Amino acid sequence: MGCGCSNLSLCCWSSGYNASIPEVQDVENEEKSEVDDVPAFREYSIETLRMATSGFAAENIVSEHGEKAPNVVYKGKLENQRRIAVKRFNRPAWPDGRQFLEEAKAVGQLRNQRLSNLLGCCYEGDERLLVAEYMPNDTLAKHLFHWETQPMKWAMRLRVALYLAQALEYCTSKGRGLYHDLNAYRIVFDDEGNPRLSCFGLMKNSRDGKSYSTNLAFTPPEYLRTGRVTPESVMYSFGTLLLDLLSGKHIPPSHALDLIRDRNVQMLTDSCLEGQFTNDDGTELVRLASRCLQYEPRERPNPKSLVAALIPLQKDTEVSSHVLMDIPHGSAASPLTPLGDMCLRMDLTAMHEILENLGYKDDEGAASELSFQMWTNQMQETLNSKKKGDSAFRHKDFRAAIDCYSQFIDVGTMVSPTVYARRSLSYLMSDMPQEALNDALQAQVISPVWHIASYLQAVALFTLGKENEAQVALREGSVLENKRGAAA
């Protein structure tokens, strides 16, 4: 006798599965729903965010479609060394600034270890920007679909599914059950290799709420009828993500459901996972996916029941995420170069020698601008002040170097990261660490990927007694220096 199901469910796979899942106490998720080390939501000025992103430099774009994305995301760094992700909306989005602020403030009240939390926003003039925690280890899409060294392990895929469900459960419990365009690009990995849900999807892209932008083959069926996102639509998208995790590919749900109907789950499974899980484990994940992909929204599970179903499936729970992901961690992430070690030892004499030997090689574009403007009297005077500064710097007359470089900078005809770096070191030699830090930050604004700027920030921060921030700048300098060496 048939089961009498009018829609696709997997009751034929396991009798009684569609009965409600017993609620399992999610201890891990409730232990720490609030995150202590994340600052409260605040408003940022456009100038602060411009500084943090080096003038919204192309080198700092982290959106998957680069500058072509309708709303571009940049990585940046605040003066306190906190790394941030800045989403800059296109001009027509959010015409009502107050409405944008209210929406951002509501999302900014959320604080959870499963989210990349929203730290603030900016709405000056036509500008609409969101500021979130920066997650340095790429997106789920990169690790699943575009991996270079090894595919994501089965245990990690299960962890991604659980952590994502926990993030959605937390948001739902706080009255933010809508998530726009949930996909593999919305899941990002933190310093520890743990997956987190981007807070950007909790914001509508515009005031009408119609922000579903994925390929129509992957959108919930009800969205095609109503154009609206509901909490049940989010569950449908969660089902497509479970298929991504299972297959390692972005498979249209209709095709996946055909395979499930035919019990051809082998075709759904990533061949790279062979031997990493049992048939029962695979079947269980397929069951969950198919429940999320039910045509009728009311028949899909809620986040709480997803969490309860995913907890028993977890593997290797004692193994850290960065180990499962094979992500370098802590001191192994970027071993200090000799230059980095020099900064750690606060060897300013050696730093002086390096800057002196480096000259102005890293001032890209500055020389041509100088030659074009050399004929003006003002430019000749500016050049003279720079030459005097260079001479004073060479002879370690740092007070004179500060004065001469300041004259050059104040004229403002041209910008030079090297001049800022030299004045920064001169300030350090003159026991003026805050001024040194300001100049090092300015050097990085002009030249976003210049390792010298990060190293000078580290030395200034060490001098100011800001050990943690200094270590962050030091690691960043090492990463930039190593990238530079690899590209050479």
Q: Give helix 433-446 / helix 417-429 axis angle, nearest 10°.
A: 170
* Alpha-carbon dihedral sign for residues 329, 332, 338, 343: positive
For tokens 């000056």, the residue is: 124
Residue 322: HSE in the Cβ half-sphere, 13 Å Cα cutoff: 11
The rounded distance, in Å, linking the Cα atoms of 250 and 165 is 19
Residue 397, judged by CB atoms within 10 A of its CB (0-12, 13-18, 19+), counts as middle
The rounded distance, in Å, linking the Cα atoms of 323 and 159 is 13
Residue 225: HSE in the Cβ half-sphere, 13 Å Cα cutoff: 8
Spot the catalytic one: 181, 362, 363, 439: 181
Cβ within 8 Å of residue 202, ≥6 positions away: 107, 110, 118, 171, 176, 178, 179, 180
| Type and span of the H or E element at 372 | helix 366-373
From 313, 328, 309, 327, select the one nearest 276 (Cα to Cα): 313
Cβ within 8 Å of residue 214, ≥6 positions away: 181, 183, 237
Kindly give the pairing relationship between strand 129-133 and strand 118-122. Answer: antiparallel
Cβ within 8 Å of residue 278, ≥6 positions away: none
- 244 given a catalytic annotation: no
From 315, 313, 261, select the one nearest 290 (Cα to Cα): 261
Residue 230, judged by CB atoms within 10 A of its CB (0-12, 13-18, 19+), counts as middle
Q: Return the structure tokens found at 459.
A: 């030395």
Q: Which residues are catalytic?
A: 181
